[in-house]
Structure 1
């Protein structure tokens, strides 16, 4: 039988709530139709924001939201999106479908959305096609209470008091769509921009530098970018951005279907999702060379699955469905971020509504909560809790690619790691545990455990051993379904959270100094479970 051992007395790093953050871009139907419909819409709204979407997101829990991109950020000029809507300049959204962007959703609308969601705004500035002055004035416009042209302009546009904006990205993917820069050139530009992105009044900024673009092989991790940027700008940055998308195939032209996929594709996708662990370890090791105290945090502000778009939809809109496979990708990824919460401060799944691995889909006035939404809701109580020391003894998935490392150093952290066929290790041939978990404890001493069963057809029984006392289960939920099952507008609850009761408690050593609580848990195939316990 498999085992999960949790030591309730050995606390590790705090799990930042911002690991459970989201990303919104002017892309497809994410902003328009998905979130913002305008005040005159027949769809029920508050100041133009869909009431149903805002309500669902608040129930899920959304600590921070990134905007306006993405690639869109580096061609977005913020002054075009303020003032009277009828007078706002229109632009072509060159990156995403070539449609006309009317800028009716701009700075004030985004900050209104964050107010309704009760979340922190994360704004990404335009380094690619913008100027230092433009970025400096944007921050001043939003956050200054001093007498200045930008402050007066904000007041003229209806906002007397300054906004609170903490998270600010200086450029996006500047190695690619943000300017095709080399690391040394970006570093010099970052220093210049960061100097003029100033703090006003009591507003403290968390400045985020553009990190490496990473692929799914060791050689594709682009570690040289991290080396160069950290060497040059670590003293001027608070965060370092990383992006990674899980794509089943090895071709961006034919990525694979979101719903019509094979078991091989299912397991390859899960393996590739766990590559995030390797990405974090390798980049964090370089960051530590220039920042031993880990002051500069990893901001993993784009992650998730990326498939072929839904047949018949605009290819530039990146609209895709969302199955239990995506739910497992989400839970595996969140477990990795939690495990590295000493260095990972924020992670933003892409994207929040109607784009890529979204948590919500909309169609007119209808709304669907995806399996990924339910994973985020299931994991809520890890936010701001403290990671507990834990380990698991579980089997590897034996379906498809069975990898046995053939090096003296059995760690994938070994840069020369190879599999049993003498093939360099990649995301696609990573060994995959049948189970994944996170255990945390809150300030009240309540323990929260999430466990995922990756097997498509096999229930797994495990003994979950909690050291340090007798604990009672106070709540337990499960998300489960066939590996390709999903929710749609005609069947919204195919995959949804339900009470979980497949566990039995035993206490070992009651009355003695050392007490263990053992939960005998049976996890259905393809499932994610949460269990909350207290003494």
Structure 2
């Protein structure tokens, strides 16, 4: 009897705590715009991320448009993909653009030393990439080769892509099938130059950047935003050095990278499926570190660039697990589960909260690699839980951010690790509606919360919820999908609007009334 009473008291206490949770959205205090490119994508010449996954060639029996798979392109268009980064990644600093133009049958076959040591036939080059971007209606982010290239090579690539006149390079582009210049929205000078891009010191990179950037010229109406390769994880030295040293040359933004490893150890990262709850929380709690990294680096930029002209682009992020057994370790193949959907949503919340500087982020990667949107096998494909998370948050593209707080936020604890149980973001969409995104990180307990918008209580909310029965629920090829969005709505009762968030869920709703 005593045990039963104690259990009842504990249950009542938990219910009381849950009832006290409140989300308050300050709809009358608009913040910075959440740039649509925060939802950017990344396609690197890595494994089957491009070849087979998206590019099958015009002769393929798989339905395609000029070599790009119709099914994959259609699904990505439904995400309103705003931006695609290409050709890398580590691959970028070994990529020579002239090898990827002209008749595909005559292009040289190289070895992709970074990713699996497999042949790279250069079938996808400059023209094919821009065709992909244009089919998606996305902006183009081109990553230049600083590691093994030359200033002349990089300058000539930009001229080839953007020249409007009758130079030899412009005529070569026309000969290869493109009359009008390509629109280059973003251009990066190198990638991860602290590592695979050359193992450089930031001071040395600054000197190289200043040298190379001096020769990168385009027509005024096609000048890209120039991005400097920055640091990663908790490092701030690259941001400090670049902010000080790149004044007076084309310089608009700094890139930064950070991946999520359940164990935090590169030699044994953790499994994508069959993981314990301790690795569920360690994965999701990592986003608190991401927020810290962003804030520390943007604080440095605030000191050197108070006008906030320089962007901070988190252009590689996502989960990184041990490779799928039986696959080429260099292809970075991994399962994608409900955990990845929550991880994506929590990253969105971090980037929304730092939208004044963070104008771009790029999940790694689009198809078949790391935290992919889509998985393919021959003529089949499946949408991952991460895809559905991106789809839920489409209304936040170019929305105006709104302050949102959680009162009496329950603490989610597993073993010795804790994190806030509820995460919230809010914004006023381009359609004028207020949207609220919510994550219940707790893997086992649902949470009820009251929603207040401004000084009042909405009449109702309507949207979708993404959840599943198991922490590692996934959508597999040829099997019924386990993780798909479901309708979600709530009505105010007696002046109170209560939302019931299932355990391990993502909810995005529009406020009505």
Q: TM-score range by the shorter chain?
A: over 0.9
Choose which of 22, 26, 41 in structure 2 pairs with 1:7.
26
Question: What corresponds to 1:300 in structure 2?
Answer: 314
1:474 offset after TM fit, Å?
6.1
RMSD between aligned residues: 1.3
Corresponding residue SS for 2:331: coil
Choose which of 474, 481, 506 in structure 2 pairs with 1:486.
474
Find out whether 1:399 has 2:382 as its counterpart.
no
Find out whether 1:432 has 2:410 as its counterpart.
no
Kindly indicate whether the alpha-carbon contact (under 8 Å) linking 1:471 and 1:533 is maintained by their aligned counterparts in 2.
yes
Kindly indicate whether the alpha-carbon contact (under 8 Å) linking 1:213 and 1:242 is maintained by their aligned counterparts in 2.
yes
1:445 offset after TM fit, Å?
2.8
Choose which of 197, 221, 240 in structure 2 pairs with 1:227.
240
Choose which of 266, 270, 274 in structure 2 pairs with 1:252.
266
Q: Structure 1 CA distance, aligned partners of 2:264 and 2:320?
A: 12
TM-score by length of 2: 0.94
Kindly indicate whether the alpha-carbon contact (under 8 Å) linking 2:79 and 2:391 is maintained by their aligned counterparts in 1.
yes
Kindly indicate whether the alpha-carbon contact (under 8 Å) linking 1:369 and 1:492 is maintained by their aligned counterparts in 2.
no
1:274 offset after TM fit, Å?
2.5
1:313 offset after TM fit, Å?
0.5
Find out whether 1:109 has 2:87 as its counterpart.
no
Cα shift readout 1:352-407 (whole Å, capped 9, x = no counterpart): 100000010001111010000000000000000100112112011122224xxxxx
Kindly indicate whether the alpha-carbon contact (under 8 Å) linking 2:459 and 2:491 is maintained by their aligned counterparts in 1.
no
Q: How many residues align?
A: 491
Question: What corresponds to 2:209 in structure 1?
Answer: 190
Corresponding residue SS for 1:9: coil
Q: Structure 1 CA distance, aligned partners of 2:60 and 2:346?
A: 39
Find out whether 1:239 has 2:253 as its counterpart.
yes
Q: Structure 2 CA distance, aligned partners of 1:361 and 1:50?
A: 13
Q: Structure 1 CA distance, aligned partners of 2:245 and 2:480?
A: 50
Question: What corresponds to 1:135 in structure 2?
Answer: 154
Question: What corresponds to 1:50 in structure 2?
Answer: 69
Question: What corresponds to 1:499 in structure 2?
Answer: 487
Question: What corresponds to 2:6 in structure 1?
Answer: none
Choose which of 483, 503, 508 in structure 2 pairs with 1:525.
503
1:199 offset after TM fit, Å?
2.3
Structure 1: tracts of 5 or more residues without a match: 215-220, 403-430, 509-517
1:273 offset after TM fit, Å?
2.7
Cα shift readout 1:261-308 (whole Å, capped 9, x = no counterpart): 111111111111331100101111111121011110111100000001
TM-score by length of 1: 0.90
Q: Structure 1 CA distance, aligned partners of 2:231 and 2:289?
A: 15
Question: What corresponds to 2:433 in structure 1?
Answer: 446
1:234 offset after TM fit, Å?
4.6
Kindly indicate whether the alpha-carbon contact (under 8 Å) linking 1:234 and 1:296 is maintained by their aligned counterparts in 2.
no
Moved more, 434-443 or 91-100: 434-443
Runs of 4+ in structure 1 off by over 6 angstroms are none
Q: Structure 2 CA distance, aligned partners of 1:492 and 1:81?
A: 39
Cα shift readout 1:421-448 (whole Å, capped 9, x = no counterpart): xxxxxxxxxx411011110012443101
Kindly indicate whether the alpha-carbon contact (under 8 Å) linking 1:475 and 1:532 is maintained by their aligned counterparts in 2.
yes
Corresponding residue SS for 1:74: helix
Question: What corresponds to 1:88 in structure 2?
Answer: 107
Q: Structure 2 CA distance, aligned partners of 1:473 and 1:146?
A: 57
Choose which of 375, 378, 386 in structure 2 pairs with 1:372.
386
Question: What corresponds to 1:416 in structure 2?
Answer: none
Corresponding residue SS for 2:343: helix
Question: What corresponds to 1:462 in structure 2?
Answer: 449
Q: Residues 459, 362 of structure 1: CA spacing in aligned structure 2 closer, same or farther, 3 A cutoff?
A: same
Cα shift readout 1:169-204 (whole Å, capped 9, x = no counterpart): 110000110011111110011111212121215112
Question: What corresponds to 2:290 in structure 1?
Answer: 276
Kindly indicate whether the alpha-carbon contact (under 8 Å) linking 2:460 and 2:491 is maintained by their aligned counterparts in 1.
no
Moved more, 369-378 or 198-207: 198-207
Q: Structure 2 CA distance, aligned partners of 1:224 and 1:57?
A: 36
1:312 offset after TM fit, Å?
0.3
Q: Structure 2 CA distance, aligned partners of 1:387 and 1:68?
A: 32
1:260 offset after TM fit, Å?
1.6
Question: What corresponds to 1:22 in structure 2?
Answer: 41
Kindly indicate whether the alpha-carbon contact (under 8 Å) linking 2:94 and 2:148 is maintained by their aligned counterparts in 1.
yes
Kindly indicate whether the alpha-carbon contact (under 8 Å) linking 1:267 and 1:400 is maintained by their aligned counterparts in 2.
no
Q: Structure 1 CA distance, aligned partners of 2:333 and 2:443?
A: 25
